[in-house]
Chain A
Amino acid sequence: MAATKLKITAFEHYSELKILINHPMENGRNRDVNGQLIPAHFIQELQIVRNQSLLINLQLGPSVSKHPLLVFHLEKLQSGEKIGVSWIDNQSQSDSVEQIIS
């Protein structure tokens, strides 16, 4: 169900990271067709690692929309550098992707 996509685009002065995650981001306040509360299920932390060192540790709450699309700008990445993106949610599910700059 959960899938993470990462797209890195180089611009003149920076590199853009586009991250799309297939995730329900349920805040625990919505009800299903039977009127039962759907348990909270949302991403709590998203980490971006550049060449083995932690660059960004984004902490999220349940008020981020479902299927989050997050865009970051980093200083221009050089060819051969490695970017890793990983996340973990409140139900301890997680996923990660990696990309080497060509």
Chain B
Amino acid sequence: MKGHAIDRRQFLSKMLKTGFGCLLASLPFPSVAAWPSRLFAHQSMDQVLQQLNLLGDWRQSDQLQIQIPENAEDGASVPMQIQTDLSHISSLRILVEKNPTPLILQWEIPDGVLPFLSCRIKMAESCHVWLIAEADGVCWFNKRWVNVMKGGCGTG
């Protein structure tokens, strides 16, 4: 019984110290949510969507415009541009279905920012590129097929 009591004391003291360490670690960036490492981890797109757990109706819309080449020679750098006429968009996400890390980027869109982004992405192989936008309880999505000649995500 005595052994148990000491174990518990040590456990509690370790727990307090760890808790304090976590508190310290979180201090430098108090105002911004931490980078979600699990969302950007190596996994399938289904697993990302499961974690995102986006609520509301899923509706496909061509008003979510994805401009991306149909044939991409080099998967290491595929230029893309997204924009939409849909109103009340609160967040945008780009996902590449067959990438080892399918979530490319995500951001919340406040007033004063137009739902537009141009960037270059990596693609491992031919697949769909998805754009998902949250707006007023609806999950708008659209996707475009891209043929990739040379994979751009490395071999692992």
Instruction: List A residues at the B interface (Cβ < 8 Å).
Output: 14, 27-31, 37, 44-45, 47, 50, 54-66, 68-75
B105 at the interface (CB under 8 A from A): yes
**Is B154 touching A27 in the complex (CB atoms < 8 A)?**
yes
CA distance A58 to B110 in the complex (A): 12
Q: Is the CB of A55 within 8 A of B112?
A: yes
Answer whether A65 and B114 are a contact pair too, CB < 8 Å, given A27-B154, A30-B154, A58-B107: no
Give how many B residues have a beta carbon under 8 Å from the other chain's beta carbons: 39
Chain B interfacial positions (CB closer than 8 Å to A): 31-33, 35-36, 39-40, 76-78, 81, 96, 99-110, 112-114, 116-122, 152-156
* CB–CB B104/A74 < 8 A: no
Cβ of B32 and Cβ of A57 under 8 Å apart? yes
Least Cβ distance of B156 to chain A in Å?
4
Provide the main secondary structure of the chain B interface: loop
Q: 17 pairs across A/B with beta carbons < 8 Å? A: A27-B153, A45-B35, A54-B31, A55-B113, A57-B32, A59-B107, A61-B39, A61-B103, A61-B104, A62-B101, A65-B152, A66-B77, A69-B118, A69-B120, A70-B119, A74-B112, A75-B112
Q: Which 4 A-B pairs have the closest CB atoms?
A: A29-B154, A71-B118, A61-B40, A65-B120
A50 touches B114 (CB 8 A): no
User: Shortest beta-carbon distance, A5 to chain B, in Å?
Assistant: 15
